[in-house]
Chain A
Amino acid sequence: MGEGAMPVAEVMTRKVITAKRSTTLKELMEIFRRFSLRTLPVVDRENKVIGVVALEDVLKIFQPHPSDILDMLDRVPFLDEYDDRSLWDVDIPPEMGVLCVVEDLMNVNVVTINEEATTIQARSLMKLHRLRRIPVVDKENCLLGIISLFDIIMAVFKQKGIL
């Protein structure tokens, strides 16, 4: 462990707002609004991290094709840039708020950090992947908390006696 580095488990926020596969679009938007969050970890019944859902993922409902097909097309070379249609021009029925669930929107590619890692490793991971919050998990991939840049700065400030 580097000088001054602390275990992630000591610094992380333990109370985490999460979404489930079945969380509806309406509930998701309410969580984003109420807690001023833009990214949420998605967990299953055993509290295992199965994905992440971000505000940008909500834009998927404006696409006319399933997200797995669009993900595959993303990997195809030489495709022209997508000309986004105006969000106002797309017909979306009001029922979509309850019919569309997080499972349809979430991204299964998620960066997590183990509880035994240090804050230095957490910061490196944040810099490497350009993230501000990383879910902290145990060996079984169960969610234990979340570590943010804010948590790390606070921990450093406390250690240095600034706060």
Chain B
Amino acid sequence: METILSFAAILLLGLLAARMLRRVKFPAVTAYLLLGILIGPEVLGLVARPILGVTGSISNIVLSFVAFGLGQNFSRENFSRIGKSVLWISLLEASGAWLLVTFSCLYLLRQPLPVCLLFGAIASATAPAATVMVVRESGAKGNFTDTLLGVVALDDAWCLIIFAVSLALAKGLTHSGGEGFHLSAAFARSLLEIGGALGLGTLMALIFTYFSRHLRAPGDLLIYTLGFILLNTGLAIYFHLSVLLASMFLGMVLVNINKTSFRFFDIVRTVDSPLYLAFFVLAGASLEIHLLGKLGLLALTYFIFRILGKVGCASLGGWISRAASPVKKYLGFALVPQAGVALGVALIAKAEFPPMGGMIFTTIVATTILYEIIGPFFTRWALHKAGEIGAE
């Protein structure tokens, strides 16, 4: 199909799919993904090949926007407001899923370490959209619900950080893995990628703030902000630095040094919806359906150990932060859904690590659909056991 017509079909059919699947309580992200699979080259073939060819660039741009926005949650003021439980639980359940999936892939399935690291990192993500939807539908409220919402709000930011570090390590291990393998060289390379990204994000935030005083109109504000996000992303790619960390640091430093930075974040949110829609439809269209049959044990291991990591380490976080008993017992179960950010970073893995990246991406798409079907039941069950669904 012609490129412009393809984009029109993606946007309009995406909107329609989201509306239709909302009736059966599916979040919009899942609707876009399923639509992408349907109109992708392996089923109906409605997406133009040139568009699929730029999916890697689109995922870098979209995840830069996402990381920039999530950086806003890392303000001094926000950290002083969020409770100890939210911080500990979110940090531990994300890290727990990462480590457990990494080690299970490494020792049970004997997969290469770079691949295991990436699988583990993707496992740390959750699905705020699905969780919020269940909370709204069930009318749940109380301490458990508030802790859960706080945890899912922070979780994607931890996932991006963990993924960026894992990707840098995986690349370091892969590039140093030939003749004369040196672990120290792999770590040095990874540290350079991470440190450089932090330096770039910080520097760009300082320049951004300095020149922002010359802005005069809301249109300028939008163009200026988009321009800087893209410049930061482009420079990170050019210098082989972590795009995710550079973007998150741009947002993180900006929110802490610029009193009116909220305007920059707000204005980006006015234009991101169509970009996100196109991103998820293209993610679905990029699925290599023939790989689904080969997943088997890999998908099963990922599926089970991610849940174990979430449940076990959320309890540990609750125990350390002396959270209420229902939080310690059930909160991890409410974190089973997985969607948006996991798919985004899986697309990056696909682009960075061919051909294993294709297997990683296919596993994540397949498990995402499964998690989106059963995850909400786990969340509802946890809210019910915590006694925060009034009528039930």
Contacts and interface: CB of A to CB of B under 8 A. Distances in A.
Specify which of A68, A76, A78 lies most central, judged by the most chain B CB atoms within 10 Å of its CB. Answer: A78
B145 A65 contact: yes
B128 interface: yes
Contacts of A111: 260, 263
Nearest to A107: B262
Nearest to A127: B217
A78 B149 contact: no
A34 interface: no
B149 A128 contact: no
A77 B156 contact: yes
A129 B263 contact: yes
A73 B128 contact: yes
A77 B276 contact: yes
Interface in B108-134: 128-129, 132-133
Interface residues of A, number: 24
Interface string B255-276: 0000010110100000010001
B29 interface: yes
Contacts of B150: 69, 72
Interface string B134-166: 001001010001100110111010000000000
Contacts of A130: 218
Contact of A108 (B77, B149, B263): B77
A48 to B, nearest CB: 13
B157 to A, nearest CB: 9
A102 B146 CA distance: 21
B232 interface: no
B339 A76 contact: no
Contacts of B262: 109
Main secondary structure of the interface of B (DSSP, over half): helix
A162 interface: no
Interface stretch (B38-46, B66-74, B306-314, B351-359): B66-74
Given A69-B149, A75-B73, A75-B153, A128 B217 contact: yes
Contact of A68 (B81, B215, B218): B81
B77 A69 contact: no
A83 B340 CA distance: 20
Contacts, number: 90
Interface string B71-107: 0110001100110000000000000000000000000
A78 B215 contact: no
Nearest to B220: A128
A69 B153 contact: yes
Nearest to B152: A76
Contacts of A79: 128-129, 132
A46 interface: no
A89 B217 CA distance: 40
Contact of A78 (B82, B136, B263, B276): B276
B358 to A, nearest CB: 23
B156 A80 contact: no
Interface string B10-33: 000000001000100001110000
A72 B82 contact: yes
A72 B139 CA distance: 19
B341 interface: yes
Given A77-B70, A83-B136, A127-B218, A72 B146 contact: no
Contacts of B260: 109, 111, 129
Nearest to B78: A72
Nearest to A71: B78
A124 interface: yes
A130 B28 CA distance: 31
B221 interface: yes
Contacts of B154: 72
Interface string A69-93: 1011101111110110000000000
A80 B22 contact: yes
Interface of B: 18, 22, 27-29, 65-66, 69-70, 72-73, 77-78, 81-82, 128-129, 132-133, 136, 139, 141, 145-146, 149-150, 152-154, 156, 215-218, 220-221, 260, 262-263, 265, 272, 276, 280, 339-341
6 contacts: A65-B141, A68-B82, A69-B150, A76-B153, A78-B129, A127-B217
**Which 6 A-B pairs have CB atoms at the shortest separation, nearest pair first?**
A72-B153, A78-B340, A64-B141, A109-B262, A77-B66, A76-B128
